[in-house]
Structure formats: C-alpha cells, structure tokens
Chains A and B, each alone.
Chain A
C-alpha cells in the first residue's frame, strides 16, 4: 500500500495523474508535462517533494561521521548546504544527497525516496565509534519546492525572513506561511528557487499560501514528470538512471563532490583516488539528438559498428525543443563534438556530444 503525502488531496483536486513512486502515491503531472516545465523556466512552479527522505544527525561527532560516510566535505559554515555522493567501498554510489548544516553539531541529510530504506540501513551500519544520534524524520517531514525566476517574489510574500540574505545552497529556519520551516535556496531544476521543509500537519497551509501568493505570477503545480525533464535539461544526474551502485562519482563527472584535495579519510577514498589518477574507463556525457528520435535509458551507443556506451537518460528538452540524453561512453569517445549513434527499435539515431548543461539560461543564483 503506497503512502500518501499530506498534500495528496490537493493533487487529486487539481486533477493530477497519481502514480506509485518509491512507495508513495505521487503526482506525475497535472496537465501537460511540457507546460509545467516551461512554467518553472519562465515564471514559477510548486512541487510536493515530501517523498524525499530526511535524516537528522546530531552530536559531537556529526561532522566526522558525515566526512567518513560522504565523499564531499562536511566542513561548511552553519546555514550552508552541500551536495554529495555516498559511496560503497568499491566506489559505486549508494545515493546522492543534499546535506544542510543546521548548527555546529547538527546536520540534515536529504536523500532520494527510492533509496530511503537502503540509505537508512547504510547509515545505521556505520554508527559505531561515533558519539552522535541519527533520527529518521522522513515520515514527519514534508517538502514543498518553489522553483523558477519568480520564486523569490512568491516566497517573500510569505515570510519575514530576508530571502536576499539566503544565497544559493544556504538556508535558515523561520516562519513561513505562519508555520515553522527550514527555508533553503536549493533545488534541482537549474532555476532559482526555494525548498521549504516543514512538519506534516503544516504542509497544507504552506501549499495553499504558496498557490495563493503565486497566483499573480501564474504559478502552477508541477509533477515528477517535469521534475525529471527539468533536471535532465540542465544535466543533473538522477539516481537509478544515470548513477547507481555500478557507477562511480568520477565516471559520472561528480569528481567535484569528492574531497580528494583534503586529507580526510572516507569510504571509497583509495578506489576513487586511483580511478581519478588512472582515468576511468568511461565517462558520463551529454548528447543532443541530430534530427529525429528519442533515445531512452538503456539504448546502446555506437561509433560505427563498435558499441561504445549506453544511454542513461533521454527525453525532449522542452525549453530547447529537441531531444537530449545523458549516457556513458568509453574513454576516447567522450570528446565534445564527437558524433555517435544510439540504437532505438533497431534504428540508428545520430547524436552529438555537447557541453552540459544543455540549457544555459537558468535563473539559478
């Protein structure tokens, strides 16, 4: 039986197509995915992301624990956040996540819903020797994201917090729409915007207020369908599609979230260090379709007769009006401008390797 978020009734009333996703009944789309997508690119959209998982880490060893578990560096100021991967000892990725530093001895980890149980078990299995407490607040924490170039105008109507004082990947706690919330300038759309975390019973008040405040800007509710096209258009990887246990952050071009420049030990450090030095056998690249066709997750990639890789994500990029893909290609074939072919239903579709992000006009600060 799928769980419902506290905003379930809101989605149904808006006519959403509800689908099971990671154990939750989530809105995939309310109308047309491309319209929701463009609303976020041009104005503002609101998302229910309550399915995401939240783990709170508190205690003297919080930073040391996260530094061991995660590839990125926990040494950030209070009120800031960082993106990271969490790796297995073999360098494969357990999950990718955002971590907010709330206080000297307190962090909030936000993980993918589909990985929640696995991540929780992974975290639990590494606690020994650390003086700290980790609590799983996933079932009590709702997340509403307001994303798009007009997001700040909408949110500023609902809080006394000075939003100009919150930079990209920064956050604060405060009153939002009359309830206690964590207000963060984070998101996964390539646009400016905020992610608002609150307790379950407060979610409806936040959602209603955001909708009302956003009306003059043409705010629309945005489902997981457009969330996927938005992140793909700016080349952000999606766990389960582009990254998983079989891929490493070095291969996925996420080396920037692996703290090899520090001397901190962390799980998979040696493996990733070695892979970086020797260069991985394959790289994640962005590709544009030349002409027609839509390669999808799993479509093989060819250079002539030689299979050189595989597509991991593919869709139309609504703001660009053409199909774009992410995929892994063998080292030697990853150069920008290189032309490859994807095989879809027995037909070859020509592609060109291009720079990520595909879409570069985003309002992200």
Chain B
C-alpha cells in the first residue's frame, strides 16, 4: 500500500502539491516512485520558468523508464530542489519531503482546491 498523506493534494499524473507560505511545493507520489523504480536523474525546470497547468515541466529517468512531470497549477517556478542533482534517489527514499521536485508561485490560488484529495487519489490509483 502506498503512502498517501492527507496534508497534500494530488494530480492524476501522480504529482503531490503542498500549500506552503507564498508557494506550492510539488513532488512525485510514493505510488509513482515505486512504480518507476530507482530514479537516476531528475531534469528540473529553471527558476522563473512559466508554468501552465498540464505542461511538462521536466523529466525523471529511472533505470528502466523515463517519465515527464507536469505543472499542476498556472504560475512561475519559484524554487527547485538542487539536492536532486547529486542525489536523485531522494525521490525514492523520501518522496514527500527531501525528494520534492520544485515549487510554483501560483497565479490563481483557486486551482489548488480543484486538485485531487488524498481519498480521490487513492481511488485514482486503485488502492
């Protein structure tokens, strides 16, 4: 069973989104990191990049597969997790904290409320 904390929201493309002070932090869900396996490279966006909900913002390379990740909200990239450059395995080891991907300063806060709840995401992945 995957870890699906309730203090964050989710997307159908397996990102989690946490509302922080002035920005939204985004990462890969525990379910998705487990499905992908060991992540060996994270290609992150640059700070300042414009984000449009649904756009590919970067990619993750696992041993066997590669997956893009997508902007859950409109806005601008406010921060990226530079730790992942040298240690992409953090995404596997600590997906909801140390393995965060990037943060967005949202242009429309109401989009956050439209994201999946933990309960809805759980249904989405069939658990």
A294 at the interface (CB under 8 A from B): yes
Residues of chain B contacted by A28 (CB below 8 angstroms): 64
Residues of chain A contacted by B63 (CB below 8 angstroms): 33-34, 225, 229, 315-316, 318
**Are A316's CB and B40's CB within 8 A?**
yes
Nearest B residue to A345 by beta-carbon distance? Answer: B59
B98 at the interface (CB under 8 A from A): no
**Are A294's CB and B37's CB within 8 A?**
no
**Are A228's CB and B64's CB within 8 A?**
yes
A294-B61, A345-B59 known; A32+B38 contact, CB < 8 A: yes
B125 at the interface (CB under 8 A from A): no
In the assembled complex, the Cα of A33 lies from the Cα of B36 at a distance in Å of 11
**Are B41's CB and A294's CB within 8 A?**
yes
- Please list the residues of chain B having a beta carbon within 8 angstroms of any beta carbon in chain A: 37-38, 40-41, 43, 56, 59, 61, 63-64, 66, 68
**Are A345's CB and B68's CB within 8 A?**
yes
In the assembled complex, the Cα of A214 lies from the Cα of B94 at a distance in Å of 32
In the assembled complex, the Cα of A344 lies from the Cα of B68 at a distance in Å of 12
In the assembled complex, the Cα of A292 lies from the Cα of B42 at a distance in Å of 10
Residues of chain B contacted by A32 (CB below 8 angstroms): 37-38
**Are A225's CB and B59's CB within 8 A?**
no
Q: How far is the CB of A40 from chain B (nearest CB, A)?
A: 14
Interface residues of A in 92-131 (CB under 8 A from B): none
Contact residues of A: prevailing secondary structure: mixed
Q: How far is the CB of B91 from chain A (nearest CB, A)?
A: 13
In the assembled complex, the Cα of A244 lies from the Cα of B64 at a distance in Å of 20
Q: How far is the CB of A343 from chain B (nearest CB, A)?
A: 13
**Are A34's CB and B38's CB within 8 A?**
yes
Residues of chain A contacted by B43 (CB below 8 angstroms): 345
A292-B41, A294-B40, A294-B41 known; A33+B64 contact, CB < 8 A: yes
Sort A-B residue pairs by CB-CB distance and give the 5 closest, nearest first. Answer: A294-B61, A33-B63, A316-B40, A32-B38, A225-B64
**Are A225's CB and B37's CB within 8 A?**
yes
**Which of A33, A296, A318, A345 is within 8 Å of B37, CB to CB?**
A33
B56, B61, B63: most-surrounded residue (chain A CB, <10 A): B63
A288 at the interface (CB under 8 A from B): no
Q: How far is the CB of A155 from chain B (nearest CB, A)?
A: 28
Residues of chain B contacted by A282 (CB below 8 angstroms): none
Q: How far is the CB of B83 from chain A (nearest CB, A)?
A: 16
**Range class of the A interface residue count:** 10 to 19
In the assembled complex, the Cα of A228 lies from the Cα of B63 at a distance in Å of 10
Interface residues of A in 22-61 (CB under 8 A from B): 28-29, 32-34
Q: How far is the CB of B36 from chain A (nearest CB, A)?
A: 11
Q: How far is the CB of A334 from chain B (nearest CB, A)?
A: 26
A293 at the interface (CB under 8 A from B): yes
**Are B37's CB and A29's CB within 8 A?**
yes
**Are A294's CB and B64's CB within 8 A?**
no
**Are B64's CB and A293's CB within 8 A?**
no
Residues of chain B contacted by A228 (CB below 8 angstroms): 64
In the assembled complex, the Cα of A29 lies from the Cα of B43 at a distance in Å of 25
B38, B41, B59, B66: most-surrounded residue (chain A CB, <10 A): B38
**Would you give 6 A-B contacts (Cβ < 8 Å), ordered by A?**
A225-B63, A294-B40, A294-B61, A294-B66, A345-B43, A345-B59
Residues of chain A contacted by B37 (CB below 8 angstroms): 29, 32-33, 225
Q: How far is the CB of B67 from chain A (nearest CB, A)?
A: 11
Nearest A residue to B56 by beta-carbon distance? Answer: A345
A29, A225, A293, A294: most-surrounded residue (chain B CB, <10 A): A294
Contacts A229-B63, A292-B41, A345-B59 known; 13 new A-B pairs at CB < 8 A: A29-B37, A32-B37, A33-B63, A34-B38, A34-B63, A225-B63, A228-B64, A293-B61, A294-B61, A315-B64, A316-B63, A344-B66, A345-B68
In the assembled complex, the Cα of A292 lies from the Cα of B84 at a distance in Å of 13
In the assembled complex, the Cα of A316 lies from the Cα of B66 at a distance in Å of 12
Nearest B residue to A322 by beta-carbon distance? Answer: B40
Q: How far is the CB of A356 from chain B (nearest CB, A)?
A: 20
Nearest B residue to A32 by beta-carbon distance? Answer: B38
In the assembled complex, the Cα of A32 lies from the Cα of B37 at a distance in Å of 7
Interface string of A235-255 (1 = CB under 8 A from B): 000000000000000000000
Residues of chain A contacted by B41 (CB below 8 angstroms): 292-294
